[in-house]
Structure 1
Amino acid sequence: MNKQQLASKIWASANQMRSKIEANEYKDYILGFIFYKYLSDKLVAFATAEGFTDEDFSAVTEDDAETVDHFKSNLGYFIAHQHLFSTWLDQTSDFDVANVREALSAFSRLIHPNHKRLFEGIFKTLETGLSKLGDTAAKQTKAISDLLQLIKDIPMDGKQGYDVLGFIYEYLIGMFAANAGKKAGEFYTPHEVSVLISEVIAHHLKDRETIQIYDSTSGSGSLLLNIGQAIAKHMGDKDSIKYYAQELKENTYNLTRMNLVMRGILPGNIVTRNADTLEDDWPYFDEQDPVNSYNPLYLDAVVSNPPYSQKWDPLHKDTDPRYARFGVAPKSKADYAFLLHDLYHLKPNGIMAIVLPHGVLFRGGEEGVIRKQLIENDHLETIIGLPSNIFFGTGIPTVILVLRQKRKSSDVLFVDASKGFAKEGKNNKLRACDIKKITDVVVARATVPGFSRLVPKTELQGEANDYNLNIPRYVDSSEPPESWDLYASMFGGIPLSELDALANFWKAFPNLRPALFTLDGTPYAQPKVDDLAAAVSQHLEVTKFNEDFKRAFDGFKPWLYSELIGKMLTLQVPRQEALICDQLFERLAKVGTVPLIDKYQAYQVLDDHWQPIAVDLEILQTEGFGATRVVDPNYVVRKKDGKDVEVQDGWKGRVLPFDLVQLAHHKKELAALHKKEAELAEVVAQLEEQLEGFSEEDKAKDTFNEAGDKFVAAAVAKEAKELEADANGTSALDPESYEAKIIQAAKVLAKEKSLKAAIKKDAAALHLKTKATIEKLSDEQVYALLEAKWLTPLVDQLNGLPVMVMYGLVAKLQALVEKYRITYADNARDIQQAEDALVCMLGELDGGDFDLKGIEELKTLLARG
């Protein structure tokens, strides 16, 4: 199930439930049941692997201490057969809310002592909230049964390319923004921001054998998970990463634990605390063994997205070792308190990233003192300005600050990434190309005009700035305002200064500008050709550019075939996109000496195509090559007795789509079907034309619907039959008469009905034939179809990039030509001609004495103009 399908299911269920409970609470229930299903399924899988049959396991009770301990020692918990999620589903009408209460109570009893910290109280939010699902046990049971039916299809195997719980959390917060309230969004760091932070952190840690990472305000845990995934791309063993998390709110803390467990992280690699980060700092120790487990907690990486500008109690904090060196944040804004907490817990060679409101860069008072100390002690490494409206519940601009304990340099990299995003509803979203560009610049510490700049500490300290880190002081990302040349506006011509703005193109194509424009030694040029698009595309230097691109990408598709299709079952999916990206950038670098094609635009093309490819690869690596020949039922939601009911509507390929298989293996049948569909479209158009020929009086008859915009087919057929019988033929009827038109409409309606029936029959036959074809494909045929699905669209879109670049150039040139095509003199002449024409028309008017005096005065005024 992909994200979109999952979202659709959740929203349908949420719509049914939201009249009963608050949106934010609904989120907690659905996440709790998802986690219970995960633990239940995991236990069943373990039991099967241990050789238990269904009959054997159903006989295991709490009294069987030895067997129960075996499960608890390996999993950390035990769930008896009668309490399994699958058992709840099997009970159908016998299921009751009491089953859930008993199961959750039993779970709490059966946690292994070594895993109490991880599992104890993890279902408290769900357990205490069951009564809110209805005011009677029957209503609660019904609500839970609906949730179980929804949850049973949600993927639980950890193979998805996204954080399931985090995605559901974010989706519900977004859809229920009005109900959930502003603060709900504070728990969740948008996926794209998590990925950006993760890539920066992972690059710093990529060569280490073991890694400890910590989120001091963990929320749903998604930020930790994304960092773990990013680091795992560079490591051989993902179990060498240890996760530490701290969260204040209990229900959100439970979500952190659920999320980490569900992603397959070893229980021993998860350390969590439900505590106030600012008031109740680590060290960490196990209450059962405080001496040997004592850990002051210094880590390789610390990340956080704390609540912005939160009030806190700074009293006596000046002696706290976290703040003693730098100063104490003001009580009205704890932003720097969170930052200094994170910095304190870094190892000397560690790295941290924190998301904070933009104000931390320039606010004065205590914050100004702390900021100065961070700069003077060379802790601040990078500042990344993010777009506004990127977080749920707040539109304020935010920044990512990257800090280190020890640095070899003192400069600070400023990145203004506020302009790069895609608009999605009310929110802005970082695209893959934005994340890649920011990451590359941060890793290389590169200065890119209008985007980033490496600023020496002396400039930050100077009198002009005085430790003010407001990004526009150091990076100017503003677009130049459009200007109008006065001479060109009066006399025409295109200012060379405005043509010079396209310098990259003129540098790449030195002879193109003189081929397009007359250059007479003045500061203005005149168009030399009427068809700019044709002149540009046919120019020798442009055709050479296209040939260079084609040459650079010679062999790219075979290379992709070898890397993706040839190694589909063994390649490392998380690393593969980066390998393809390296190859893509390397080939783009060979296209001419001037980089006209934005490599990040090319990367976005790659990422757009990579996402579905990655899903297919995960299916193949999980289920084997045979998954390409699997056809699954296609379920849709339909209304039945006023309720949404899921029913099967045909089939769909698990990996190979039906339409692709039909194009490759059933062209003849597909063409015949398309021909009939085209005939049907003509018939529908003919019916619309016939409908126009009837009068409003005619449309009031029973042969038309109440709105008069459609025929009633049965009534038309009946009346036409009677008319033909009465007239003994239609030749005597006036073609423009109602009777003749109805008889003709009946014939066309009959043809429409016949075509629809034939199309439905042929489509159904083709559908079943395609199903059979997929199930019997040879390996070679599968390879060819995967090439058509994965590689051909990607390569075709990449090959279209040079054309898109030249379209962009032509559009800019045409805009310049149009801008100065009509001069002030042209406008003045047109106005004068219009005024003269108006004076002539005024002279032809007649009226009373006062009317004529008014007309004369208007003519005088027009003459003066």
Structure 2
Amino acid sequence: MAIKKSELYSSLWSSCDELRGGMDASQYKDYILTLLFVKYVSDKYAGKEDAVIEVPEGGSFTDMVRLKGDKEIGDKINKIIGRLAEVNGLKGVIDQANFNDEDKLGRGKEMQDRLSKLVAIFDGLDLRANRAEGDDLLGDAYEYLMRHFATESGKSKGQFYTPAEVSRVIAKVIGIGPETRQDQTLYDPACGSGSLLLKASDEAPRGITIYGQEMDNATWALSRMNMILHGHPGAEIWRGNTLADPHFKNPDGSLKKFDFAVANPPFSSKAWTNGLDPENDEFKRFEYGVPPAKNGDYAFLLHLITSLKSTGKGAIILPHGVLFRGNKEADIRRNLVRHGLIAGIIGLPPNLFYGTGIPACIIVVDKENASSRTGIFMIDASRGFEKDGNKNRLRSQDIRKIVDVFNNRIELPRYSRMVPIAEIASGANDYNLNIPRYIDSSEPEDLHDLDAHLSGGIPVRDVDALEHYWSVFPTLRDALFRSNGRPGYLEPRVEPAQVKATILAHPEFSAYAARVAAVFDEWRTAHEPRLWALDAGAKPREVVRALSEDMLVRFAGLPLLDKYDAYQCLMDYWAGGMQDDVDLVAAEGWVAGAKPRGIIEDKERKIKETPDLVIGRRKYKMDLIPPALIVHRYFAAEEAAIDDLAARQEAAARELEEFVEEHTGEEVLLEDVVNEKGNVTRKAVNDRLKEIGRAAEFAEEREALTRCLELIEAEARAGKAVKEARAALDERVLARYATLAVDEIRTLVVEDKWFASIRAAVEDEVERLTQRLAGRVKELDERYARPLPELEREVEAFGKKVEAHLKRMGLVW
């Protein structure tokens, strides 16, 4: 069975546990990613003729497996990797990590055990069924590792990785797409581990020719491995300082020009002039101005611009300072704007990047349309993100909204705007490109009405501000508010606690919910055939692309419910489990994918799976169809019977608890059998009964103990009945998996699991709409519920009460 994404992640991350302590993440990532590379190429190419990578005798992962427990395991792993590197021209690429380094891996037995466990973890992964193409689990796992390594590496060493979400935005706004030709070129002058290049190339289904340069040796090696793992072995990735010694040049010595360029260079580099005389640059990169000697942001931007063809397009990530800093940078900025080279600026949320916490922006460059440019399209996307540990992260809906708005030049209040060059050049702005000058993204201030605080009533102005709700629920407004007799002011018709219930019960809301459900049902009906037709060989990313694109179209016409929120419902569910399901069907087919999988505890790998069914000592994992779906569809009566038995058990437990509580108060008849936790056990009761025997003076206690014992046994019988019934049902459920026909499997997965889950998520979004409206109505009600005169009268009354109490206490003043 092909390995699931979640299992692969778990295995790879547990492998990191074997290395933590001896080195930090910026170092142990080299070991983990090297082993992942060797394992992958061994599984994929070993024994195949004309393979992209030759796996020689003595240079495979199988050779590593034979070393488990070997006293010279470190040195021999180095030799295996060296053999693989030599045969494939990968010297200096895959042999960067020293597996015989005693300072990092320990000495003697410690190194032997550590590396043996590490090899065992990778040996447990079967990567043969996973492709390093657009739908590849391995590629996603590589991204997962890079993101986690970047998180652990800290600010000083996390710059080798551009978050995949930002990379996707850049790829989509520079024009790479289905029409891009394979012979067109893509370039990154500071490519790091290659993540930005790969995400950009993913947007070209017909392929694109990749070029990159990276200064750090270890990061350059990661990039080369990354390209091979993702199916781009021909990508030209070179080592060296791009600014001082650019590798890609024409025969005449000028810089090579590319169709597309992307970059996430180190922010504000203070050493950018090392090895370079910018005043006499042979490549003429600084004709628009020379950046300041202690800040290289514009140096990378100017290099990227010079590296583009006359029709080229590119994007670069830089700190916001480039938009407004003065002196030399202001001169460069003025020249770039005047020449029409900047097509757009996208302001990103803070704390997205691993090398720095400061907010950054994407500057989009377009040479092709520079001469006719009359404005710069700006987006303030700084408020759209989710928290992810100690970092912020763009959600799927944030990415899609940025791309849609930018590519279609959609102007949205407080979010996006086409800013005329004339406005940017005006004396008030003087070519300052700071986004807040042109887009005010702040929420309107919630103003209080002083007259309402003094005299009571809810201002009509505040209720009118909810017009986007009243346009959909025109009579709901009158159900919630009425005139209070003062012009311009209203009062609530219902108590604050009843506002939400009133909204939910209103026929206009019911009609709206039905309208949303109808749109969902249309979307579901359109895609049922596609999902039912899935089988081995399907391409998961094509599936989610079709589902998500159509969802955006269908939900676009609905008021109140943002189409991007509906889109996020789908994308969250996809990332949370549906992708695993589709990957499994694509690899195994419906029938094989639905089979229960026995869980084998592997203590050495430290991977513990939570079983879906436990029958005796047997543990099972149901990857595609959870047992609850089988129960709901085929054993509803049995489940109802178990629920009834459970209710009886709960009633028996409650009766016992009440009896014990009743007889451990003043009567204390059960005092001698109640333990320190307040519980009573059968043993304690029996022991006490034996102790008091038939003595007359203990008759009342004996009666209470006997009744208590009856209740304990009743609860035990009820619990046993539940346990036996559930065990019997579990056996029947497990047996039912073996008899499922392919159409039954499709129904359970497509209808009962996928569509039902997405529908529930969309319904939750509708619920949130009502919550927001109800919350605002209650807020207005409570804000103006008690006018100042009423509060003053209440204060006066309390003051008189206090004064009276003080006088009774004998205090006179």
State the TM-score, normalizing by the size of structure 1: 0.83
Deviations for 1:233-285, whole angstroms, at most 9, x for unmatched residues?
xxxx3xx32222221111111111111111223x23x1111111211102269
The correspondence for 2:242, drawn from 263, 277, 284, is 277
Counting matched residue pairs gives 785
SS at match of 1:217: coil
In the superposition, relative to structure 1, how do residues 732 and 485 fare at CA in structure 2: closer, same or farther (>3 Å)? same
Q: Any residues of structure 2 matched to 1:482-631 within 5 Å, and which?
A: 482-519=446-483, 522-530=487-495, 531-533=498-500, 535-537=502-504, 539=506, 541-567=508-534, 572-591=539-558, 595-611=559-575, 612-631=577-596
1:305 is aligned to 2:267: no
Distance 1:733 1:342 in 2: 95
Which amino acid is 1:319 matched to?
A: N
% identical equivalent positions? 29
Distance 1:619 1:680 in 2: 40
Is contact 1:561-1:791 (8 Å) kept? no
State the structure with bigger RCO (CA 8 A, min sep 6), 1 or 2.
Answer: 2
Is contact 2:74-2:99 (8 Å) kept? no
SS at match of 1:419: coil
SS at match of 1:189: coil
Which amino acid is 2:420 matched to?
A: P
In the superposition, relative to structure 1, how do residues 193 and 734 fare at CA in structure 2: closer, same or farther (>3 Å)? farther
- Structure 1: runs of 5+ lacking an equivalent: 51-70, 286-290, 847-854, 858-865
The correspondence for 1:356, drawn from 307, 310, 318, is 318
1:334 is aligned to 2:305: no
In the alignment, what sits opposite 2:280?
319
In the alignment, what sits opposite 2:614?
none
Distance 2:266 2:343 in 1: 22
The correspondence for 2:60, drawn from 63, 77, 84, is 84
In the alignment, what sits opposite 1:39?
41
In the alignment, what sits opposite 2:116?
145
Deviations for 1:353-386, whole angstroms, at most 9, x for unmatched residues?
1111111111112211111111111111111111
Distance 1:573 1:146 in 2: 33
Distance 2:704 2:221 in 1: 71
Distance 1:731 1:14 in 2: 71
1:167 is aligned to 2:144: yes
Deviations for 1:77-127, whole angstroms, at most 9, x for unmatched residues?
3331x543234335544573343122123223322xxxx3xx222223223
Distance 2:514 2:78 in 1: 70
The correspondence for 1:783, drawn from 737, 746, 749, is 746
Q: Any residues of structure 2 matched to 1:129-140 within 5 Å, and which?
A: 130-140=101-111
- Structure 2: runs of 5+ lacking an equivalent: 612-618
Distance 2:490 2:795 in 1: 27
Tell me by how many angstroms 1:605 deviates: 1.1
In the superposition, relative to structure 1, how do residues 128 and 801 fare at CA in structure 2: closer, same or farther (>3 Å)? closer
Which amino acid is 2:82 matched to?
A: S
Is contact 1:335-1:360 (8 Å) kept? yes
Which amino acid is 2:164 matched to?
A: H
Which amino acid is 1:34 matched to?
A: L
In the alignment, what sits opposite 2:759?
795
In the alignment, what sits opposite 1:61?
none
Tell me by how many angstroms 1:9 deviates: 4.4
Tell me by how many angstroms 1:828 deviates: 0.8
SS at match of 2:204: helix
In the alignment, what sits opposite 1:409?
373
Distance 1:328 1:746 in 2: 91
Which amino acid is 2:733 matched to?
A: T
Distance 1:514 1:647 in 2: 55
The correspondence for 1:373, drawn from 332, 335, 342, is 335
Is contact 1:214-1:245 (8 Å) kept? yes
Distance 2:344 2:647 in 1: 59
Tell me by how many angstroms 1:655 deviates: 2.0
Is contact 1:636-1:648 (8 Å) kept? no
In the superposition, relative to structure 1, how do residues 751 and 220 fare at CA in structure 2: closer, same or farther (>3 Å)? farther
The correspondence for 1:192, drawn from 165, 168, 181, is 165
Distance 1:393 1:127 in 2: 26
Distance 1:750 1:839 in 2: 62
SS at match of 1:391: coil
In the superposition, relative to structure 1, how do residues 579 and 817 fare at CA in structure 2: closer, same or farther (>3 Å)? same
Q: Any residues of structure 2 matched to 1:660-675 within 5 Å, and which?
A: 660-675=629-644
In the superposition, relative to structure 1, how do residues 161 and 361 fare at CA in structure 2: closer, same or farther (>3 Å)? farther
In the alignment, what sits opposite 1:225?
198
Distance 2:671 2:494 in 1: 62
Distance 2:407 2:7 in 1: 36
SS at match of 1:127: coil
Deviations for 1:698-735, whole angstroms, at most 9, x for unmatched residues?
99999787xx3276x9xx54443343345557997466
1:108 is aligned to 2:85: yes
In the superposition, relative to structure 1, how do residues 355 and 261 fare at CA in structure 2: closer, same or farther (>3 Å)? same
Tell me by how many angstroms 1:630 deviates: 2.6
Distance 1:493 1:648 in 2: 56
Is contact 1:199-1:230 (8 Å) kept? yes
Is contact 2:377-2:406 (8 Å) kept? yes
Deviations for 1:765-813, whole angstroms, at most 9, x for unmatched residues?
5445433322331022112112211112213433554454334223212
In the superposition, relative to structure 1, how do residues 251 and 669 fare at CA in structure 2: closer, same or farther (>3 Å)? farther
CA RMSD, aligned part only?
3.5
Tell me by how many angstroms 1:295 deviates: 9.8
Distance 1:9 1:264 in 2: 23
Is contact 1:362-1:468 (8 Å) kept? yes
Which amino acid is 2:677 matched to?
A: D
Of the structure 1 ranges 13-22 and 783-792, higher mean CA displacement relative to structure 2 is found in 13-22
In the alignment, what sits opposite 2:421?
457
Tell me by how many angstroms 1:580 deviates: 2.7
Distance 2:610 2:764 in 1: 39
Is contact 1:506-1:513 (8 Å) kept? yes
The correspondence for 2:626, drawn from 654, 657, 661, is 657
